[in-house]
Structure 1
């Protein structure tokens, strides 16, 4: 069985990483290059960086920022925000992006998905789907940071972007964003059941068990979070240990791996066994980086 990927999402506003709540409130965290460097050293599988100012401000992708931060990471880096053309995608790839996440342009001009997949390969193209309940209580895809309705349901839009050539789907819940109540499993299951491409899910994590619940859904390839990883240095490693303890296959190969640790009801480290303490090493970098 393939390993489930653990992905960190960095939301960028005004050039810095922010904590996002319902796509409305933003609390500053720090410089993106610092976040990328530490996430990489803590054992994250991939990083998704979303520049949420670019499209609303009609700005092109920040190539200088992407070039700068890509030097600090040794895991796949996906970039979203401000992408309008194939030329923008090419420039981002040349600046250091491994994958591209498109959102609004995919709605406005779906042929971009097909053309981008043809030029760069479908494995490079992620379609980001931001969804929430509309005024009628129905799930709907929104753009413009959750302000503009599209009329598409998340599962119908997911089916369409797959048919157009998208290699992955990044499904993000606006309602759950920053609320720590867990993923919207109802929508995730509906989307995962109608597509065959990998599905990345994001929005709502407040406890490691939330990752487990989503990772157990068939065709969910990766579980992602943003705010959850900002305030605890080893949250990625401990999360992977928690997932492994619940029989979720993950890549856990950092020197400090917490495999022999116990967890309390809050998902925090509760106890280390004597063997673990005796053998513990304090290099916290993935083996391939050292």
Structure 2
């Protein structure tokens, strides 16, 4: 039975776990390996890990760290950061990662979607679009941690990505990142209209009620969050957390297969 997924999103910078606000002011929050071990115990649906240095600084994926994370993990893993070739993707899959997240590289070379999907299967190819509102309306895709505007319409690219063989779309709101004030439902609505692919939304979760709002409205969808699962309380003390089985059942109770 298909059901929504609740996905912690971890950002890696300089080998450490960080959290940002609007893709800026990265704050160190701990060791990624320790976070993975804690999420193991909490029976997480899936874990997404993004190396936010790799593309900006032109690094190769950190295969050593990826392998350490995969060896510790007992949950499905999605990795993104610095993947530019089919060979890099295959190497990462060989380390035990189930999904590869692609962003900047496929914006410049969309055919890379097809090339990687042909090798590893479409279900493992995830397209991440970091999206920001435009000053006079509409949305635009950005790269390099929200610093470079691409001129690309995210909704048109979603359609193209599906045709080229992508298996899932992740929509990440730069405007909502780390603000913990709720999701951009207008953005989610418009993105969801473009594709029948599985979709995950990221950017804005400040409470389980925010996640519930997304699931109630959009049904079978992935909801990812960063700050919500690494901070606790009004003073944002660092504490790895995740909803209990009972809390998740409450979030999902209105969602039925086929909705």
- Report the TM-score when normalising by structure 2: 0.91
Contact 1:23 1:174 in 2 (8 A): yes
Contact 1:10 1:49 in 2 (8 A): yes
Deviation at 1:82, TM superposition (A): 0.5
Give the unaligned 5+ runs of structure 1: 251-290
Q: Once the two structures are superposed, what CA deviation does each residue of 1:141-191 show, in whole Å capped at 9, x if it has no partner?
A: 111111111222222111111111110011100000000111111110111
Deviation at 1:219, TM superposition (A): 6.2
SS in 2 for 1:152: coil
Q: Once the two structures are superposed, what CA deviation does each residue of 1:19-70 show, in whole Å capped at 9, x if it has no partner?
A: 1110011110111111111112112100110000001111110000000111
Aligned partner of 2:236 in structure 1 is none
Aligned partner of 1:236 in structure 2 is 242
Q: Once the two structures are superposed, what CA deviation does each residue of 1:45-100 show, in whole Å capped at 9, x if it has no partner?
A: 00110000001111110000000111111111111001110011011111221110
Aligned partner of 2:235 in structure 1 is none
Contact 1:13 1:51 in 2 (8 A): yes
Q: Structure 2 CA distance, aligned partners of 1:26 and 1:208? A: 23
Contact 1:211 1:223 in 2 (8 A): yes
Aligned partner of 2:117 in structure 1 is 117
How do residues 74-153 of structure 1 correspond to structure 2 at under 5 angstroms? 74-153=74-153
Deviation at 1:214, TM superposition (A): 1.2
Cα gap change, 1:146/1:216 in structure 2, threshold over 3 Å: closer, same or farther?
same
Q: Structure 2 CA distance, aligned partners of 1:241 and 1:128? A: 30
Q: Once the two structures are superposed, what CA deviation does each residue of 1:225-247 show, in whole Å capped at 9, x if it has no partner?
A: 01110135674234x53342252
Cα gap change, 1:189/1:241 in structure 2, threshold over 3 Å: closer, same or farther?
farther
Contact 1:42 1:234 in 2 (8 A): no
Over aligned residues, Cα RMSD in angstroms?
1.7
Contact 2:216 2:255 in 1 (8 A): no
Give the unaligned 5+ runs of structure 2: 233-238
Deviation at 1:218, TM superposition (A): 3.6
Q: Structure 1 CA distance, aligned partners of 2:134 and 2:193? A: 22
The structure number with the bigger radius of gyration is 1
Aligned partner of 1:54 in structure 2 is 54
- Report the TM-score when normalising by structure 1: 0.82
How do residues 171-186 of structure 1 correspond to structure 2 at under 5 angstroms? 171-186=171-186
SS in 2 for 1:56: helix
How do residues 151-166 of structure 1 correspond to structure 2 at under 5 angstroms? 151-166=151-166
Q: Is the aligned partner of 1:72 residue 2:72?
A: yes
Deviation at 1:249, TM superposition (A): 5.2
Q: Structure 2 CA distance, aligned partners of 1:90 and 1:219? A: 32
